[in-house]
């Protein structure tokens, strides 16, 4: 099959700290809710400076799977399977009538089910190797999520995982789209997931100086582009999207949210954790997405920013936008939903893509909350503190990761 096909999004499922399912998630975004709170009642953070996170307290895996299945899955896999079920229901995809050899799965995650590692290592030290779980390896491996989804629904098409830190699920979306675009599949289940609410993870990020320590004001802690930002907030969640060829979607009369038109991918090739000072890799990734989709810079209406609230990252991304878009940078809207749900790491790109899709679909821009004292170096329209109506036809969603990974996906209305 040699033709290049258009790829559209027909189903979305999302599990986040401000809502489960697209409607609850969108309501939380539109109302400017914060999912950030103290988490030291859940995990031991006694000697860790940062004690806040965006944790999903009302998630019950037994609403989506039986007890035996849940027991053999790590939390990030549980979140992903739950989001997949929601996405399939939302897309009204009747798998009984589909060729499952032509349906694939690509899922991004930054770390995998880290609790499987920490818990089994403790068991090894305290009780010996004979007490390590036989499910440890299949629970921990980052590609487990894609495998578990294919097993649950019998999907036999292309199947793999992407691991590129905070760019993981954006890469998953772009590569899954290419599976359809170039004829390897007709439908793809794709997205990302992450749950790393463990003392080890918090301690590691905190020792780097990456986390906010605004412990006494958790809801105000994640403040992208604000002069008083002091780092990101660890979040958890999953976002799953159903991608189809345009022909396949129309043949079954599916509701089409938007076209996933392209992805741009680059590397900074500089520092393992710090972004390029001028955002050159980010600029090139966004430019690549525009060029591959045949979109002019002035056609872009909205950018869902990576916007982590780190001192260097927000300035670098702002510079990248201004260098690429020139005068138009001051006419388009930019916002960071991490201000509300924290940083979902490997799951961030997928959940933020869903937020971007909802902005296109509902004509409302999600806000950047906690933007009270704008950084003079961050002088764009970040939709501060309150959602607002807007007609959005073309949007970018950015995700950048440790390792110098840069990704930007372009979504547009059909």
Residue corresponding to tokens 């880290």: 114
Distances in Å between the Cα of 22 and the Cα atoms of 27, 95, 189, 256 are 8, 21, 16, 15
The CA-atom distances, in angstroms, between 317 and each of 70, 267, 269, 407 are: 39, 14, 16, 12
* Distance from C-alpha of 8 to C-alpha of 10, rounded to nearest angstrom: 6
Q: How far apart are the first and last CA of the chain?
A: 23
| DSSP code string of 40-100 | TTTS--TT-S--EEB--TT--GGGTS-HHHHHTS-HHHHHHHHHHHHHHHHHT--GGGS-G
How far is the C-alpha of 157 from the C-alpha of 176, rounded, in Å? 11
Sequence-separated (6 or more) residues with CB below 8 Å from residue 144: 74, 77, 112, 113, 138, 161
Distance, CA of 177 to CA of 184 (rounded, Å): 10
Backbone angles phi, psi at 321, to 5 degrees: -65, -45
For the annotated catalytic residues, the residue numbers are 166, 306, 343
């Amino acid at each position: 099959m040699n033709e290049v096909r258009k790829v559209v999004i027909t189903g979305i499922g999302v599990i986040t700290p401000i809502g489960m399912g697209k409607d609850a998630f969108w309501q939380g975004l539109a109302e400017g809710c914060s999912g950030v709170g103290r988490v030291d009642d859940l995990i031991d953070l006694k000697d860790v400076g940062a004690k806040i996170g965006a944790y999903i307290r009302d998630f019950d895996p037994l609403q989506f799977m039986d007890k035996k299945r849940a027991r053999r899955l790590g939390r990030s896999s549980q979140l992903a399977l739950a989001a997949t079920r929601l996405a399939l229901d939302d897309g009204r995809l009747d798998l009984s009538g589909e060729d499952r050899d032509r349906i694939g799965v690509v899922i991004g995650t930054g770390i995998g089910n880290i609790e499987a590692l920490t818990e089994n290592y403790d068991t090894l030290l305290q009780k010996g190797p004979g007490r390590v779980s036989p499910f440890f390896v299949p629970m921990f491996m980052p590609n487990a999520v894609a495998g578990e989804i294919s097993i649950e629904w019998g999907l036999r098409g292309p199947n793999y995982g992407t691991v590129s830190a905070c760019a993981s699920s954006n890469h998953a979306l772009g590569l899954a789209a290419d599976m359809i675009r170039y004829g390897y599949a007709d439908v793809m289940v794709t997205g990302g997931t992450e749950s790393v609410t463990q003392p080890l993870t918090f301690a590691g990020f905190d020792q780097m100086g990456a986390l906010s320590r605004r412990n006494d004001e958790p809801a105000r802690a994640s403040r992208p582009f604000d002069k008083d930002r002091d780092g990101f907030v660890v979040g958890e969640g999953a976002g799953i999207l159903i991608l189809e060829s345009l022909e396949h979607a129309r043949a079954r009369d599916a509701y089409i949210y938007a076209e996933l038109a392209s992805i741009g991918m680059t590397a900074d090739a500089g520092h393992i954790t710090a972004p390029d000072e001028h955002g050159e890799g980010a600029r090139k990734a966004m430019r690549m997405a525009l060029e591959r989709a045949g979109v002019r810079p002035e056609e872009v209406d909205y950018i869902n920013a990576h916007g982590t609230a780190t001192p260097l990252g927000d300035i670098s991304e702002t510079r990248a936008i201004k260098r690429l878009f020139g005068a138009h940078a001051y006419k388009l809207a930019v916002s960071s939903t991490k201000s509300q749900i924290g940083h979902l790491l490997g799951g961030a790109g997928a959940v933020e893509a869903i937020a971007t899709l909802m902005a296109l679909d509902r004509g409302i821009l999600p806000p950047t909350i906690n933007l009270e004292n704008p950084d003079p170096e961050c002088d764009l329209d970040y939709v501060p503190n309150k959602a607002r109506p807007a007609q959005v036809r073309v949007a970018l969603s950015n995700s950048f990761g440790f390792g110098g990974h840069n990704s930007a996906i372009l979504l547009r209305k059909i």
